[in-house]
Amino acid sequence: MNYFELFGIHVTLQVDVSLLQRRYNELSRQYHPDTHTKSGDTAVAEQWTVLDQAFLVLSDELQLLRHVLEIKGELAAAEGYRLSSLFMMEMQDIHERLLELEYNPTEEAIAEAYQDVVAMEQELRSRVAPILAGYDDEHVSQGAMDKLKEYYFRRKYLLQIREKLSTFASRN
């Protein structure tokens, strides 16, 4: 399902949050289960669930990007997508630090690794910022889509590292 169509907004990589919230509130009143008290009205309950899921997806940058890539058919072709060897070599240092943190999780080392991941995420985003800002669904080039797909998978990879760092922080 195209969540943009559900909310009646154009496909974009920078959703107007106030517009999204306003449309969500309008649709919530329309599909809220309490306003449809007939027993067995599962269609309304399903629509309510889809509405909530759509709002969450369009409100989160990474999920939003994934949704746009899915709409454009870019993720179906990405099964088994491999990140560049250059990126994976950059990640080797981070993985070595994660191994060290397994045995010696100091607050300083965790904070330093976390800041390095944040810096990598910011650098990645800066590379695609012009594409994100100027995204035009009807006139996007395949080259731009390829860069967005690479960005998506790199961000997803870094998110996993960030989650791993959070487990170290919660143990301390």
Per-residue pLDDT tens over the stretch 57-108: 999 999 999 999 999 999 876 577 889 999 999 899 999 999 999 888 889 9
> pTM for this structure?
0.87
**Contact assessment for residue 23 and residue 9, using Cβ atoms and an 8 Å cutoff:** yes
- Flag whether pLDDT at 19 surpasses 80: yes
State the fold for domain 3-59: Helix Hairpins (1.10.287)
Neighbours of 153 (CB within 10 A): 19
State the pLDDT at residue 31.
76
- Flag whether pLDDT at 171 surpasses 60: yes
**Contact assessment for residue 15 and residue 9, using Cβ atoms and an 8 Å cutoff:** yes
pLDDT grade for 30, boundaries at 50, 70 and 90: confident
**Contact assessment for residue 7 and residue 20, using Cβ atoms and an 8 Å cutoff:** yes
Closest CA to 148 of 20, 51, 11: 11
Q: What is the DSSP letter of 60?
A: S
Listed by start position, the domains of the chain span 3-59, 82-171
Please give the angle made by the CA atoms of 12, 14 and 16, to the nearest 5 degrees: 100
How large is the average pLDDT for residues 126-137? 96
- Flag whether pLDDT at 40 surpasses 60: no
State the pLDDT at residue 78.
58
CA–CA distance, 151 with 147 (Å, rounded to integer): 6
Q: Which two tokens stand for residue 40?
A: 């067995």
Burial of 58 (0-12, 13-18, 19+ CB in 10 A): buried
pLDDT grade for 153, boundaries at 50, 70 and 90: very high
- In single-letter form, the type of residue at position 21 comes to Q
The mean-pLDDT minimum among 4-8, 28-32, 48-52 falls in 28-32
